[in-house]
């Protein structure tokens, strides 16, 4: 049974006892957690809050923004801009970076986020979430620009998500394993409910949007066909399928009981490497999965080794139980 300690105490111990994180990073993570609590409140209200449905604007991806997408983005910006721990922020909902205004002190961290991932599920009351990633400003850097964000995922110093589902749960890594904190609404604080999360290396559960099957590349078709063939097929065991269409919910299930998640390149938009975004979806989720003993690739290479060329670049994603990810990746590389 995990001892019931608050997120604050966990972070203080990560700072003081284990020396894993400096004070400025601890402060940043506490501010992000507080922002997630505010977002959870807004999401929780649903129709009562009058904020469901679409706004009249599109995001950088050309997708209609939900009102709650915009609200969540504003909550994260306003919570983090004044604290003195950040130089700038980047968001799925903003074209360019947001440099901390001169009226506030600038810090050494860069915060990237998808403020409300899975937002197509908002109106149907299915779990959604906030995904965040923290990088450090490059050394002896003068002034912050978009180029400072273009670091491979293995340079992250913290990553996590907050899933707004039956429980509101913050999942976090600072490089010392994965811990989960459940929001105690009576206390108004996140309480440690799981630590040293480990994903089983094998699984019988895969997650993919099957409606795209006719568009997949051969290696993905082979992997999924073998899962569907079950006991009588080459895998010699039956598989179950899940697809929430909310990456946060699918990844949370995998961290909780194992599984493999695939959002591969497909022929619908052949010039795009995939649908999901590298910097604020695949990188933070990929690090969490690796920290829990899983693996995350784009079908050919480790997600965290990809050198980003653009802030909003997309990537093909295969992540989860190590042996399954390695199998699906082998089908792509032939190795
Ligand atoms: P599809 C949500 O919009 C998202 O970015 C991820 O959270 C999710 O895994 C994926 O897209 C769902 O995409 O094409 O199945 O609707």
Which of these three, 150, 173, 194, is where a domain ends?
A: 194
Task: Kindly state whether residues 209 and 282 are assigned to the same domain.
Answer: yes
Contacts of 296 (CB under 8 A, 6+ apart): 282, 285, 286, 287, 289, 290, 302, 303, 304, 317, 318, 319, 320, 325
pLDDT tens digit sequence for 308-334: 999 999 999 999 999 999 999 999 999
Task: Kindly state whether residues 45 and 169 are assigned to the same domain.
Answer: yes
Q: In this structure, what CATH number is given to the domain that contains residue 61? A: 3.30.540.10
Distance CA(61)–CA(314), nearest Å, equals: 10
Task: Kindly state whether residues 190 and 210 are assigned to the same domain.
Answer: no
For residue 2, the model assigns a pLDDT of: 60
| SS3 state of residue 205 | strand
Q: Are strands 205-207 and 260-263 parallel, antiparallel or unpaired?
A: parallel
How much is the average pLDDT of 101-108? 95
Which of these three, 160, 194, 228, is where a domain ends?
A: 194
Residue 123 structure tokens: 């109106």
Binding-site residues, ligand 1, Cβ < 6 A: 117-118, 120, 209, 245-247, 263, 275-276
| SS3 state of residue 178 | coil
Residue 63 Cα: closest atom of ligand 1: 3
pLDDT tens digit sequence for 177-224: 999 999 999 999 999 999 999 999 999 999 999 999 999 999 999 999
Taking CA atoms only, the protein residue closest to ligand 1 atom 9 is: 247
Task: Kindly state whether residues 131 and 219 are assigned to the same domain.
Answer: no
Angle (nearest 5°) at CA 161 between 178 and 87: 105
In a domain, 116, yes or no: yes
Distance CA(180)–CA(169), nearest Å, equals: 7
For residue 47, the model assigns a pLDDT of: 82
Tell me the whole-structure pTM to 2 decimals: 0.96
Task: Kindly state whether residues 183 and 209 are assigned to the same domain.
Answer: no
In a domain, 146, yes or no: yes
Domain that holds residue 127: 7-194
Task: Kindly state whether residues 119 and 157 are assigned to the same domain.
Answer: yes
Q: In this structure, what CATH number is given to the domain that contains residue 264? A: 3.40.190.80
For residue 1, the model assigns a pLDDT of: 60
Taking CA atoms only, the protein residue closest to ligand 1 atom 1 is: 245
Residue 215 Cα to ligand 1 midpoint, Å, equals 16
Distance CA(273)–CA(316), nearest Å, equals: 6
The total number of structural domains in the chain stands at 2
Instruction: Evaluate whether 24 touches 85 at the Cβ level (below 8 Å).
Output: yes
Residue 48 Cα to ligand 1 midpoint, Å, equals 26
How much is the average pLDDT of 58-71? 78
């Amino acid at each position: 049974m995990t001892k019931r300690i608050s997120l604050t105490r966990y972070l203080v111990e990560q700072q003081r006892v284990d020396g894993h994180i400096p004070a400025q990073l601890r402060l940043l993570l506490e501010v992000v957690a507080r922002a997630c609590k505010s977002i959870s409140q807004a999401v929780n209200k649903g129709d009562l809050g009058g904020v469901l449905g679409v706004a009249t604007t599109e995001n950088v991806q050309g997708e209609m923004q939900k009102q709650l997408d915009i609200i969540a983005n504003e909550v994260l910006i306003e919570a983090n801009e004044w604290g003195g721990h950040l130089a700038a922020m980047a968001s799925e909902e903003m074209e360019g970076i947001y440099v901390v205004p001169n009226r506030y002190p600038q810090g050494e961290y860069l915060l990237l986020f998808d403020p409300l991932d899975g937002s197509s599920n908002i109106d149907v009351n299915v779990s959604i979430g906030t995904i965040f990633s923290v990088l450090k400003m490059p050394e002896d850097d003068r002034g912050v620009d978009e180029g400072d964000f273009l670091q491979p995922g293995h340079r992250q110093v913290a990553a996590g998500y907050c899933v707004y589902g039956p429980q509101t749960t913050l999942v976090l890594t600072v490089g010392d394993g994965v811990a989960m904190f459940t929001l105690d609404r009576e206390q108004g604080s996140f309480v440690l409910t799981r630590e040293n999360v480990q994903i089983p290396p094998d699984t019988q559960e895969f997650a993919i949007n099957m409606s795209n099957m006719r568009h997949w590349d051969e290696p993905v078709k082979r992997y999924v066909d073998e899962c569907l063939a079950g006991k009588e097929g080459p895998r010699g065991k039956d598989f179950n399928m899940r697809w929430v269409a909310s990456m946060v919910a699918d990844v949370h299930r995998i961290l909780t009981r194992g599984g493999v998640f695939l959002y591969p390149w497909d022929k619908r938009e052949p010039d795009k490497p995939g649908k999901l975004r590298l910097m604020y979806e695949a990188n933070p989720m990929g690090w969490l999965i690796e920290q829990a003993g899983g693996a995350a690739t784009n079908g050919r290479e480790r997600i965290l080794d990809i050198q980003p060329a653009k802030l909003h670049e997309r990537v093909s994603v295969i992540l989860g139980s190590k042996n399954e990810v390695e199998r699906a990746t082998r089908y792509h590389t032939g190795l």
